[in-house]
Structure 1
Amino acid sequence: MKSTYALQLPLLAAVTLMAACNGGNTTKQTQDTAAVAAADTTKVPAFEVSSIDSSAKPCDDFDQYVNGNWKKSNPIPSTESRWGAFNVLDKENKEVRLKGIILSLADQKDLKKGTEEQQISDFYRSFLDTAAIEKLAVTPLQPYLDKINSIQTLADFSKVSGELEAIGIPGVINFGVEADARNSKMNALYQGQDGLSLGEKSYYERPDASTKEVRDEFVKHIDKQFASAGFKEAEPGKTILDFETKVAKLQLSNVELRDPVATYNKAHYSELKKLAPDYDWDAFTNAQGIKSDTLIIQNKAYVSKVSALLKSTAPETLKTWLRWQVLSHFAGFLNKQLDDENFHFFASVMRGTKQQRPRLERAIRATDGIMGMPLGKVFAKKYFPESSKQKVSEMIENVRAVYGERIDSLTWMSAATKEMAHKKLASFTYKIGYPDKWKDYSSIDIKPANLVENIVAAAQYDHKEALNKIGKPVDKSEWGMTPQTVNAYYNPLNNEVVFPAGILQPPFFNANADDAINYGGIIAVIGHEFTHGFDDQGSQFDAEGNLKNWWTDADRKNFMALAKRYINYFSGIEVQKGFFINGALTIGENIADLGGLTLAYNALEKSLKGKPEPALIDGFNWKQRFFLGWAQVWHANTTDAALRNQIQTDPHSPARDRINGPLPHLKAFADAWGCTPGSKMVLSDDKRVVIW
């Protein structure tokens, strides 16, 4: 069972209600001291001057000026679709630190069944046991294929869809569990849309040549996978594309999904039967073990329309689509032919990645994906000393204090709303490094020689855990990321910011760097996460984490007018011919970036009051180095295909525009670099957007 508010991937992004900061393939979270891993003694330069392209002008293209030579010297590895600061640090965490942990466990003999050590070791072994994987081929899928083959009616389809949901395979309708957005202390059952293999409805609708090519390749990919698996359908690719295109037309766009009010429709369970009487809801929920009198429906119109679509679709088409869901879900864990073709489409076609990582590296990453928290326990103990929490706490409190001052200085907000904003700011809680308590994973049955069974066992654990939460109090100590994750997030339902140990390393925080570099890095990241509490989504939640308006009508109107100007600003940026940033999709992350920079710069200024002017470093003053710190955090090279995918699916703007985008709105940037009117990165005062 999926969480409606589950965090997605890379960049400082917002995912439904949880906003993350990540510099990879999506999310938002975003990111004068924190700790470096005790075991990491190598000094990392605060800023590498050799990265600068001196032929570029900082006031015309700051990214090219700061990072031009870095990008030239750091081409995208063949195993990646994007290469930047997040990826470099993530690679170090996984392929050095986690690898060392996993390999040391894999060398141990006779590990006790059910211990985290045994689970980590045996899952890793199962991924590397290619002989067993090749021998089994698609045999591990047979129990699920048999269920699909038995479908004769829509009621049968409902039941089998529920059974597949219980092991993590999505249908066109899914259920999840998360805190009730209007009663954040209690967990609730949520219903949402799903079922698009290409991830977002625009892939099924855009008429441009590159998107059409993706659809054509999608059809070929399915045909190849069905043939490799021994499935006998004729033209399965066309069948599935046609069906998913019909589903896509019924779904909310990723921009519409950002509206927490419109997507919150609490109802009695019986409402589902009224909305879609032909769908067997009891069969669907009973197959998953779901018991709840109420639920929160994302989009009532979708429930009705997709049910009608299912009713009008031939059972054989529905069976073909379900076979595809099962095959695609597990393809990366099956024999080489299926695995390679899965990589070809979803990594090469969709994101421009040229080749798979070596099997050993993939085994490390897969183990982290399944046993991330147990691994995180060891990671945190080894690389994040307890003393670091205090240092990060101090940084967070500095940002909180500056945010309060910024609220007081706002000219567009009334005193009444400012009072409520201060109340929310004061109620922010935070988590640093790693959880205070760890979950018990001992019930997951991990075996050394059956990879698919291990994936299923982990999914069943997650599903059971979700079931046990329905209608019960929220555990606010729970984490949405593992400690080793290079990211951070804001959760409006808890009104909390969370900073895993994985991101508290260079270039985000560098213990050997000057304050200006760190303020442009980790302090701006902390400010980014704080600002998510006051972006277009987060600002709709109160101090208790409830979806509740705390604004006067006039102040909300003022805020949305500023947001609209910022939406229009980013929507005018063309990142590839015919592909523009979706300002409405990225507004939450863009507001958070602008707020993070503003807060961090003000905090740096405040810290220097009454002190001697810091000396130049490498010829740059402290104001300039602040912005150098910001730019090096986000530097990245991205493939064309990944860039197109990001524009359509990711709530974060591309790396270049995360760097350059907010800077023209900061007078401090123009002052720091001596930018004159007419420079490409200079806006007049009346064009600048100042929100927080």
Structure 2
Amino acid sequence: MAADPESINMEMYAEPENSSDTARIWERVRQQLNPARHSIAENILAGIVVLLLVVVIALAATHGGGAGGGGGVDTACQTEACLYRSGYLVSFLNRSASPCDNFYAFACGAAEQVMPINPAYRERTVSGELIRQNADKLEAALRSPIVRNSADSYERKLKTIFGTCIDDFRIERVRGALFADLLRRQFYVMNGSVVGQFDLDRELLSAVKTFGASAFFEYRVEPNPLDGGRYTISIYNGGIGMLPAMYLFDFYHRQRESYKEYMRVTAKLLVADAEPGTVDNPNGVTARIENFVLDVMEIETALANFSRNAAGPDPDKPPLAPGNQISLTEMDSSYQPIRWSALFSGTLESGVQGSTRVAVQTADYLRRAMTYVGETIRLLHPVDYNRRLSNYLNWQVIRNYSGDLSSAYVHAKREFESSLSSSSYIYQSRLDYCLDRTKNFMLLGLNSLFVADHLVDSSKQAVDSLYKTLQSEFVSGIERLDWIGSTERAKMRMKIQAVVDKIGYSPTEIRDEFLDEYYKDLTVDPDYPMMDISISWQNFKRLKQGSLLGTVQQATAWSGATFDVALSMTSTAQLTVPAGILQWPFFSPQLPGYINFATIGQRMAAELIKAVDATGQLTDQQGNSNPMWSERTRQSYVAKAQCVNFTYWDLTAGPYWVGNRSYYVDINPIISRTLRTAVAETDALRLVSKAYAGFEGGGSELPLPLGHLNKMQSLFTAWAQTFCFTRDPLYSYIRGALGRLMPEDIHVNGVLSLIPEFQSAFSCPADSAMVKLGGCSPIFYT
């Protein structure tokens, strides 16, 4: 019986144990070669891989340093971690490709064999594999028995939510009956007479407060970087179910029809699941459903038009700035017909008054939307005004909860979502939906659960030490930037020195006592259906938002999920490095420094550079708008960045073979959108290569047991291999043609072609493809 390909490929991502007993490695290889576990083809492939590994090690032992000056067996790192890393590195390599002609092909040429795509995945990337691995860990933790089973235990609530969500039997038994019962007194499709009692303020309050719907707008209560991290109400565009363009252009006719069918089918299911006798005039249901669909589409189309065409915020008057915020009382008069003070005091409760100030992020949109709601609809449809608004509000509620209902509702939602995809649509499984739902409901609890099972403090300390090495090197390098004035360099140094690295997790927010207290007002009854738990969570969320309003975000607060793999830098100079990336293949405290510098180190360095680049320099370390650069410096930056831009100017990606036809992607429009990343990645890789050279172990660390790669070559290869991917050709083409994401192979080669240290490490001739003629001078690190 063939082994699960996912389990085979994930073997290389497992964290090696703290032991130098290499005999156990070969025992694992022997077990993997057991014919009973694999198909004939898999055994042949595994045998070839092991044979090649033996040959490599033998050559290393025989020839010592090899072509690249790497270590022989007697002069190389032979710990278990190093042997694992060597196997991992070799598994992706294509030795027949020249590193000086196409380094991505050299470093990742065997990616299709290591990470083969299958019908379940249209792409596989190194980061994506780690994301899936973390999801598996979360699932295992959530399925494990409850240890702390008291009524106030956050763990009990967390695992109950997940367990209820994946309980198919209970969901199919309830279907949508309870939801239909909640809606029947206000849903026109079930009761045509409700429109006579419609009141906009009352129904909007119910939709936002009870169900958390986004209707006409979306609000958030979030830390305000322009007000010392104080929690502030921000109001954004919202209240539509698709991207604005999909309502407006003929090209998206199929998506619009699919969206209407989603509404139509969902309404029919709710009617069918309603208690017999509760649906008013069953013979008129079909006509009411069509009115319902047309009413929703008309209002959402208008909102999409406003969203697409309204003016954005004035850059000189940022809405979050305290002086640019407006009170709810002012909103009552400026953005009629909604009574904003009543809406937010009813929703958030705690201390919200007419004087409470909010940040209207898109004032022009909101003004147009409110004019439409208060005047235009009434003028166009004076008889059906109430019905149209009622149907619109009810749909915003329904689409929030359809995923919590039975498989028929989920199928209708999936059919619609498949029409939105530009390539083959991969249906979200019930498990993935429930993991997302649990994350949304109890993120802090899930953060703690992940950290408790999958991170040791030694990793946190080692990454912090690595970060401080990079920070120190970058600060000293800023003084060498002769294109920036001395006063501006001083401001940049000050900001970088102020950056606080938050590694792994928040020590405060993973404590049981803290989490029990934080979630004490969240009611999760094991006998509740999932929809009731969702509504209970909405009640908890709004009251929590109200209690936070006006307070300052705690310095220990964690931003995002600990199980994420993406780093982030806040405007207040806080670098978040989640626990989810502090593991194989991005980090291990047992690996040599040149590997960790190349992987997790380079990503931290890139975030440091972004903190003071053309965008980062606009704010100081407190997050205040306080540009550092003069006009002369800005112009110097533009000239330097333009050189990097020209490096990618005439490149194309591909060919991508779809059937018998090949497609190419022009990189020019992509680099115009991703130039900031290209600059940061290039300078960050130069920074880590220099910082490693000064690292305390830099002169004494042993190379990996690979005769053909020395330490610096391993550093650049390890970095490149974080971008290895396998992708469906059609998806690759569409992804590139959209012009937003740089293909990984182009990114790797583009960055390395601008780095002299790379070219020196691999002795690349001056006329090779990986050496850009003339090059570009360093921008933020030299």
- Judge same fold: TM > 0.5, yes or no: yes
Determine if the alignment matches structure 1 residue 488 to structure 2 residue 567: yes
Residues 351 and 112 of structure 1, relative CA distance in 2, 3 Å threshold = farther
> Which residue pairs with 2:166 in the alignment?
128
Q: Check the 8 A contact 1:268/1:295 in 2, yes or no.
A: yes
Determine if the alignment matches structure 1 residue 164 to structure 2 residue 202: no
Using the TM superposition, give the Cα deviation of residue 639 of structure 1 relative to its aligned residue in structure 2, in angstroms.
4.9
> Which residue pairs with 2:691 in the alignment?
603
Q: Check the 8 A contact 2:609/2:780 in 1, yes or no.
A: no
> Which residue pairs with 1:594 in the alignment?
682
Structure 2: gaps of 5 or more residues: 1-14, 26-80, 272-284, 510-514, 654-662
Residues 132 and 687 of structure 1, relative CA distance in 2, 3 Å threshold = same
Counterparts in 2 of 1:397-546, with a 5 A limit?
397-438=468-509, 439=515, 440-448=518-526, 449-492=528-571, 494-546=572-624
Query: Number of matched residues?
Result: 650
Matched letter for residue 172 of structure 2 = E
Residues 73 and 394 of structure 1, relative CA distance in 2, 3 Å threshold = closer
The higher-RCO structure (CA 8 Å, 6+ apart) is 1
- Aligned residue for 2:233, secondary structure, equals strand
Structure 1 Cα separation of the partners of residues 428 and 17 of structure 2: 26
Using the TM superposition, give the Cα deviation of residue 362 of structure 1 relative to its aligned residue in structure 2, in angstroms.
5.1
- Aligned residue for 1:551, secondary structure, equals coil
Question: Residues 428-452 of structure 1, C-alpha deviation per residue, up to 9 Å, x if partnerless?
Answer: 1121122121242122111334112
Using the TM superposition, give the Cα deviation of residue 305 of structure 1 relative to its aligned residue in structure 2, in angstroms.
1.7
Q: Check the 8 A contact 1:259/1:537 in 2, yes or no.
A: no
Question: Residues 231-267 of structure 1, C-alpha deviation per residue, up to 9 Å, x if partnerless?
Answer: 8422866765564444334336999789796554623
Structure 1: gaps of 5 or more residues: 1-34
> Which residue pairs with 1:268 in the alignment?
326
> Which residue pairs with 1:380 in the alignment?
451
Residues 463 and 651 of structure 1, relative CA distance in 2, 3 Å threshold = farther
Matched letter for residue 633 of structure 2 = D
- Aligned residue for 1:234, secondary structure, equals helix
The alignment-based identity, stated in percent, is: 18
Residues 127 and 185 of structure 1, relative CA distance in 2, 3 Å threshold = closer
Q: Check the 8 A contact 1:486/1:500 in 2, yes or no.
A: yes
Using the TM superposition, give the Cα deviation of residue 163 of structure 1 relative to its aligned residue in structure 2, in angstroms.
3.8
> Which residue pairs with 1:85 in the alignment?
126
Determine if the alignment matches structure 1 residue 309 to structure 2 residue 372: yes
Question: Residues 146-190 of structure 1, C-alpha deviation per residue, up to 9 Å, x if partnerless?
Answer: 456598699944553444334443233222222333222423222
Structure 2 Cα separation of the partners of residues 487 and 261 of structure 1: 31
Correspondent of 2:219 among 175, 179, 204: 175
Q: Check the 8 A contact 2:692/2:698 in 1, yes or no.
A: no
Matched letter for residue 468 of structure 1 = S
Structure 2 Cα separation of the partners of residues 186 and 343 of structure 1: 39
Q: Judge which range, 676-685 or 573-582, deviates more.
A: 573-582
Q: Judge which range, 144-153 or 370-379, deviates more.
A: 144-153
Q: Judge which range, 354-363 or 335-344, deviates more.
A: 354-363
Question: Residues 507-554 of structure 1, C-alpha deviation per residue, up to 9 Å, x if partnerless?
Answer: 111344433322221101111222332244432220122222233332
Question: Residues 616-648 of structure 1, C-alpha deviation per residue, up to 9 Å, x if partnerless?
Answer: 753123333222212222223345786688679
Using the TM superposition, give the Cα deviation of residue 398 of structure 1 relative to its aligned residue in structure 2, in angstroms.
0.8
> Which residue pairs with 1:15 in the alignment?
none
Residues 469 and 567 of structure 1, relative CA distance in 2, 3 Å threshold = farther
Residues 121 and 324 of structure 1, relative CA distance in 2, 3 Å threshold = same
Structure 1 Cα separation of the partners of residues 314 and 713 of structure 2: 35
- Aligned residue for 1:83, secondary structure, equals strand
Residues 145 and 415 of structure 1, relative CA distance in 2, 3 Å threshold = farther
- Aligned residue for 1:669, secondary structure, equals helix
Q: Check the 8 A contact 1:486/1:503 in 2, yes or no.
A: yes
Q: Check the 8 A contact 2:220/2:235 in 1, yes or no.
A: yes
> Which residue pairs with 2:72 in the alignment?
none
Matched letter for residue 183 of structure 1 = D
Structure 2 Cα separation of the partners of residues 578 and 244 of structure 1: 34
Q: Check the 8 A contact 1:254/1:585 in 2, yes or no.
A: no
Greater Rg, structure 1 or structure 2? 2
Q: Check the 8 A contact 1:63/1:659 in 2, yes or no.
A: yes
Q: Check the 8 A contact 1:53/1:65 in 2, yes or no.
A: yes
Structure 2 Cα separation of the partners of residues 74 and 386 of structure 1: 31
Using the TM superposition, give the Cα deviation of residue 114 of structure 1 relative to its aligned residue in structure 2, in angstroms.
2.8
Q: Judge which range, 161-170 or 541-550, deviates more.
A: 161-170
Structure 2 Cα separation of the partners of residues 206 and 606 of structure 1: 57
Counterparts in 2 of 1:532-571, with a 5 A limit?
532-560=610-638, 562=640
- Aligned residue for 2:753, secondary structure, equals helix
Matched letter for residue 112 of structure 1 = S
Q: Check the 8 A contact 1:36/1:504 in 2, yes or no.
A: no
Structure 1 Cα separation of the partners of residues 742 and 204 of structure 2: 35
> Which residue pairs with 1:99 in the alignment?
139
Matched letter for residue 267 of structure 1 = Q
- Aligned residue for 1:105, secondary structure, equals coil
Using the TM superposition, give the Cα deviation of residue 424 of structure 1 relative to its aligned residue in structure 2, in angstroms.
0.6
Structure 2 Cα separation of the partners of residues 582 and 62 of structure 1: 21
- Aligned residue for 1:332, secondary structure, equals helix
Correspondent of 1:334 among 405, 424, 435: 405
Using the TM superposition, give the Cα deviation of residue 69 of structure 1 relative to its aligned residue in structure 2, in angstroms.
1.8
- Aligned residue for 1:690, secondary structure, equals coil
Structure 1 Cα separation of the partners of residues 626 and 174 of structure 2: 53
Q: Check the 8 A contact 1:83/1:638 in 2, yes or no.
A: yes
Using the TM superposition, give the Cα deviation of residue 132 of structure 1 relative to its aligned residue in structure 2, in angstroms.
2.4
Q: Check the 8 A contact 1:171/1:195 in 2, yes or no.
A: yes
Residues 666 and 100 of structure 1, relative CA distance in 2, 3 Å threshold = same
Residues 68 and 151 of structure 1, relative CA distance in 2, 3 Å threshold = farther
Using the TM superposition, give the Cα deviation of residue 414 of structure 1 relative to its aligned residue in structure 2, in angstroms.
0.6
Structure 2 Cα separation of the partners of residues 247 and 568 of structure 1: 40
Counterparts in 2 of 1:623-634, with a 5 A limit?
623-634=712-723
Structure 1 Cα separation of the partners of residues 680 and 311 of structure 2: 17
Question: Residues 446-504 of structure 1, C-alpha deviation per residue, up to 9 Å, x if partnerless?
Answer: 13341122223223323322222222222221112232223322111x31011121110
Matched letter for residue 544 of structure 2 = E
Q: Check the 8 A contact 1:189/1:470 in 2, yes or no.
A: yes
TM-score (ref. length: structure 2) = 0.73
CA RMSD of aligned residues (A): 4.0
Matched letter for residue 303 of structure 2 = V
Matched letter for residue 132 of structure 2 = K
Q: Check the 8 A contact 1:102/1:364 in 2, yes or no.
A: no
Residues 262 and 564 of structure 1, relative CA distance in 2, 3 Å threshold = farther
Q: Check the 8 A contact 1:490/1:496 in 2, yes or no.
A: yes
Structure 2 Cα separation of the partners of residues 642 and 223 of structure 1: 30
Correspondent of 2:108 among 55, 61, 67: 67
Structure 1 Cα separation of the partners of residues 543 and 736 of structure 2: 35
- Aligned residue for 1:472, secondary structure, equals coil
TM-score (ref. length: structure 1) = 0.81
Counterparts in 2 of 1:284-295, with a 5 A limit?
284-289=343-348, 290-291=352-353, 293-295=356-358
Determine if the alignment matches structure 1 residue 195 to structure 2 residue 278: no
Q: Judge which range, 126-135 or 587-596, deviates more.
A: 587-596
> Which residue pairs with 1:51 in the alignment?
92
Structure 2 Cα separation of the partners of residues 660 and 257 of structure 1: 38
- Aligned residue for 1:251, secondary structure, equals helix
Q: Check the 8 A contact 1:37/1:382 in 2, yes or no.
A: no
Structure 1 Cα separation of the partners of residues 642 and 257 of structure 2: 36
- Aligned residue for 1:413, secondary structure, equals coil
Structure 2 Cα separation of the partners of residues 138 and 527 of structure 1: 50
> Which residue pairs with 1:394 in the alignment?
465
- Aligned residue for 1:101, secondary structure, equals helix
Structure 2 Cα separation of the partners of residues 573 and 220 of structure 1: 43
Larger helix share, 1 or 2: 2
